[in-house]
Structure 1
């Protein structure tokens, strides 16, 4: 077969993928502004502003700092993925991508932020799909490993008291905590002792990280959840108990995942009010949670939108230069 004939056969295939990518990009740019619009409609901006005015500026600055540190811890998840996959992208490119993904993940759900943004932005930087999948998988495991360890400890040690109307009860919660610790221990033992280090699933290779990396995963994941709870605790009345706040956050986060509501709108509030209404006034709880949402969800989302526009503009400039 001549070179010209081969080129004619390959051209339609290239055109096919060109149009698939083009349509996907158009759909992406339609979907994101639409989701942002509906997200903004669900926020009572006057209530947010009024609530924030009730806090001293120093508390809000400290809260914003805690949120920022938490987001950089999340960026460390992807930096760990960089070491895990050895993909070679510089840190200055990984951090903005991870920040954008985390902000959109929290506000719009894992499918949009954790998956769609990560594949789009990393692929624009030259990573292939298998590598992006491994970074995404490691990031998810890091996040939930930290959750399992913290929640297991809080539940097993009985550091949170549930309302009597909740069916699971204190004993059931302790059993759940022990079960979570067993899961975390099984993962760490597998990373340290397993002789088989890789598996193949749907064409993707899954590599078991070494024990040292798994311990770093556990530390980063637990630190991130602890910082989220610390921000809520900072906004709460003075006699709030930090382990209780952390435990309720653990419960509300699972409830948010089960309901598939972006940012857990309404879910976190219901769980916290139900669990703490016998200790604090509903107005105090709502104020704390509104401030938490403003500092941990809305502010980072605004920053992420700016970073995303910069990344897209930079990518467009590079394409025009090629």
Structure 2
């Protein structure tokens, strides 16, 4: 009886995720005019659009490394396909809907628990993945902000003229983390919980995986920018990281509004606001909308498959 209830709840939760997914898609499109969306995409050269889709697919593939490293960190194993399936759906929900600790975490708990992973182990993987996400941001932004500092727009009301101080702070945090991974071998107790630094090998891999994620995400938008804009990828990477950092900290779903505002403030003198907004519209369509649409289809297929299994089991009994 308990097993049947658990199985029914599993199917119900998958359907609930699908509904949330469809809501997120409609909410994403509500911000824009459908005609403008397709018109903007139609104006982008097919080669650039194909390149952005390829980079997006590569980026989401890299994100699977977050969870794979998390399982390696806790000393557990799970098949690559199950980890990739869960990570993809979790990442699309976290990126588009926001509130990663609620959306992405709920998805991970739903699927990993059904495959025999304990709640405590899942919590460790979630914490590890979220920390890895920020670790890569600190590493890439730290290097870019330090070596190629951009001026901070006065509209952001930050207490410094360039982002170089932020870059120094970010690199110090990364350095402290690596030193701790190298020298601190004993677990650290925080209240009733114990925290153990990963090995230096895992820590370095965290930085590499997350850095690749950020670099690829920026490349998706960069390749969609107006072709006449005179801007190197390195210069744009700093702008993208600052805008994305502001969007993530705001916790607005997908950084919607905050991200665009910072990009426009820093690029408005290089190209028209209309063309830049068109590129960002295409970017949201490729990097957020398409993966979410695919995740919705995967959830629908998963729910249908399990519903069919449930009916088959009932008929056999």
Calculate the TM-score normalised by the size of structure 1.
0.85
Alignment CA distance shift 1:280-1:29 (3 Å): closer
Alignment CA distance shift 1:190-1:318 (3 Å): farther
In structure 2, what is the equivalent of residue 180 of structure 1?
Answer: 170
3-state SS of the aligned residue for 1:199?
strand
Distance between the aligned counterparts of 1:82 and 1:153, measured in 2? 28
Distance between the aligned counterparts of 2:239 and 2:112, measured in 1? 34
Pairing 1:275–2:258 present: no
In structure 1, what is the equivalent of residue 234 of structure 2?
Answer: 243
In structure 2, what is the equivalent of residue 223 of structure 1?
Answer: 212
Distance between the aligned counterparts of 2:182 and 2:309, measured in 1? 43
Q: Where do 5+ consecutive residues of structure 1 fail to align?
A: 1-10
Q: Name whichever of 160-169 and 277-286 sits farther off.
A: 160-169
Q: 1:304 aligns with which of 295, 298, 317?
A: 295
3-state SS of the aligned residue for 1:309?
helix
Deviation at 1:132, TM superposition (A): 0.8
In structure 2, what is the equivalent of residue 3 of structure 1?
Answer: none
Alignment CA distance shift 1:217-1:64 (3 Å): same
3-state SS of the aligned residue for 1:195?
coil
Distance between the aligned counterparts of 2:212 and 2:129, measured in 1? 14
Q: Name whichever of 160-169 and 173-182 sits farther off.
A: 160-169
Q: 2:114 aligns with which of 124, 141, 145?
A: 124
Distance between the aligned counterparts of 1:163 and 1:196, measured in 2? 44
Structure having the higher Rg: 1
Q: Name whichever of 210-219 and 175-184 sits farther off.
A: 175-184
Q: 1:285 aligns with which of 267, 272, 276?
A: 276
Alpha-carbon RMSD across the aligned residues, in angstroms, is: 2.8
Deviation at 1:321, TM superposition (A): 4.1
CA contact (8 A) 1:232 1:245 kept: no
In structure 1, what is the equivalent of residue 203 of structure 2?
Answer: 214
In structure 2, what is the equivalent of residue 260 of structure 1?
Answer: 251
Q: Where do 5+ consecutive residues of structure 2 fail to align?
A: none
CA contact (8 A) 1:104 1:112 kept: no
CA contact (8 A) 1:160 1:243 kept: no
Calculate the TM-score normalised by the size of structure 2.
0.86
In structure 2, what is the equivalent of residue 144 of structure 1?
Answer: 134
Alignment CA distance shift 1:318-1:90 (3 Å): farther
Q: Give the structure, 1 or 2, with the largest relative contact order (CA under 8 Å, sep 6 or more).
A: 2
Deviation at 1:138, TM superposition (A): 1.1
Deviation at 1:161, TM superposition (A): 2.9
Distance between the aligned counterparts of 2:219 and 2:213, measured in 1? 10
1:45-56 → structure 2 map (5 Å cutoff): 45-56=34-45
